[in-house]
Amino acid sequence: MGALADVTGRLFETVVPDRIAYQERLAATDQVRAYKQVLLDALDARPGHLVLDWGCGPGTDLDALARAVTARGRVLGIDHDPEMVRRAGALPHAHVLHADVHRLPLAADSADRVRTDRLLQHLADVPRALAGAHRVLRPGGRLVAAEPDWDTLAVDHPDLDIARAWSRHLADRIVRNPVIGRQLPRLAAQSGLDVRAVVPVTSVYREVRAADQVLGLHRNTERAVAAGYLTRRQADDFLDHLAHGPFLASVTLHVVTAEKPRR
């Protein structure tokens, strides 16, 4: 245990990171940059557009959106977390609204684009939020959402039962809407939007530290033990292998493009 504890301290985060630092760190990774570009391309924001960035967090994407709409357009970041709003609002030329996307204080038919990145997996009522997107979008306006399917999460380990138990715990207990990536096209269609495209983007991690910064490998292993998904021995074996063996993990996210029908 002593050797494992030493490795754990060097390789894995053992405490929950600051929310803003986590979001900014995530945005800087190659895997996240790759799918964000897919999302930006699908959004097709143009000069003069009003773009809503739902769950804008600390504002990591506001600048890229502002460049797309130019000075003729406007980007409005929306977040329910006052700390995130304060951080994003301090950015140059940022327009940020403290609001809940379930109850958007915006006029109907007012936005050209709605963008959301990994927000819907956390919402209490996804259909209500999508109905709100339908309401605020202009006819012909576009929603682009990037959401993971946590059932696709795979972490290599010689004992497949241990690896599956670890992933199942994360999907079952950690994320509110763990398979929203696969559900989103159906839910968007049920809200009255026309689904135009679904693009899967698979992130692959071959370095344990990089994966830990996204997946919280140690933290979620401890939670899996507390929840009864893994025994203490299985958990120690899992972490020991991740620390010393060749590492591989992957998860698939879906970028869904949907439009409000023209009247």
Contact present, 116 and 146 (Cβ < 8 Å): yes
Model confidence at 101: pLDDT above 70: yes
Q: Which residues lie closer than 8 Å to 192 by C-beta, 6 or more apart?
A: 131, 134, 260, 261
Mean pLDDT is lowest, of 20-29, 52-61, 120-129, for 20-29
What is the spatial distance between Cα 135 and Cα 78, in angstroms, rounded to a whole number?
16
User: What is the percentage of the chain residues whose pLDDT exceeds 90?
Assistant: 87
Q: Which residues lie closer than 8 Å to 102 by C-beta, 6 or more apart?
A: 123, 124, 125, 128, 129, 132
Model confidence at 4: pLDDT above 60: no
| 3 pLDDT tier (thresholds 50, 70, 90) | low
Which of residues 4 and 116 earns the better pLDDT score? 116
Closest CA to 8 of 234, 218, 226: 218
Q: Which long-range contacts (CB under 8 A, 24 or more apart) does 1-6 make?
A: 1/236, 4/236, 4/239, 4/240, 4/243
CATH of the domain at 207: 3.40.50.150
Instruction: State the average pLDDT over residues 236-252.
Output: 96
For residue 181, give its domain range: 2-259
pLDDT at 159: 98
pLDDT digits (tens, 9 = 90+) for 102-158: 999 999 999 999 999 999 999 999 999 999 999 999 999 999 999 999 999 999 999
What is the spatial distance between Cα 22 and Cα 92, in angstroms, rounded to a whole number?
21
Closest CA to 178 of 105, 90, 254, 101: 254
What is the number of domains present in the chain?
1
Q: Which residue has the tokens 């120690």?
A: 236
Q: Is 47 helix (H, G, I), strand (E, B) or coil?
A: coil
List, in sequence order, every residue forming a beta bridge with 115; answer none if it has no partner. Answer: 53, 144
